[in-house]
Amino acid sequence: MSPLLIDNVVKSYGPASRRVRALDGVSLDVVKGRFLAIMGASGSGKSTLLHLMAGLTTADSGSVHIDGQDLAGMNDAQLTKFRLKHIGLVFQSFNLIPTLTAEENVMLPLRLDRKASAEDVKRADNTLALLGLTSRRGHRPDALSGGEQ
């Protein structure tokens, strides 16, 4: 089973008089362990495809399956839980919560899923150390440089 299977996906935006077909029958089968780069000109549908793969938007037709689960069959609450457990997103903008410290931002996905455990704190410590941010753990995003964010 492929971890990501996109089959004949179509996605359009806008009113009928100015309808834009962002994706027109796109299919993709991502093999486990492969690295994938999505590249193309501005307006070619890259962001639309990524939003579909993350369950942030739905296709007009076709299907998106992640680990065998059809995203179209999930309601908003189910998609939110599915994303929490199965999908990692790295946005172009930082999307850090300004009132949380660096450590709290790193731990946020774990806290959304359950109460943070000692193991979660250790994972956050390891992540901050890997990024060279151990000494900055208590700083809020506005006190971090762009690279640190």
DSSP letters of 120-139? HHHHHHHHHHHTT-GGGTT-
Note the pLDDT of residue 102: 93
Burial (CB < 10 A; 0-12, 13-18, 19+), residue 145, is exposed
How many residues in total does the chain contain? 149
DSSP letters of 42-76? TTSSHHHHHHHHTTSS--SEEEEEETTEEGGG--H
Note the pLDDT of residue 88: 79
Of 135, 82, 26, the closest CA to residue 73 belongs to: 82
∠ CA 44-32-108, rounded to 5°: 75
Note the pLDDT of residue 78: 94
Q: How many helices (DSSP H) and strands (DSSP E) are in the chain?
A: 4, 4
Note the pLDDT of residue 24: 95
Structural contact between residues 8 and 64, judged by C-beta atoms closer than 8 angstroms: no
CA 80 centroid distance within chain = 11
pTM of the model: 0.68
- Type of residue found at 117: S
pLDDT tens per residue, the chain (149 residues)?
Answer: 789 999 999 999 989 899 999 999 999 999 988 888 888 888 889 989 999 999 999 999 999 999 999 999 999 999 988 998 888 777 666 789 999 999 999 888 877 777 778 888 898 999 999 999 999 999 999 998 888 88
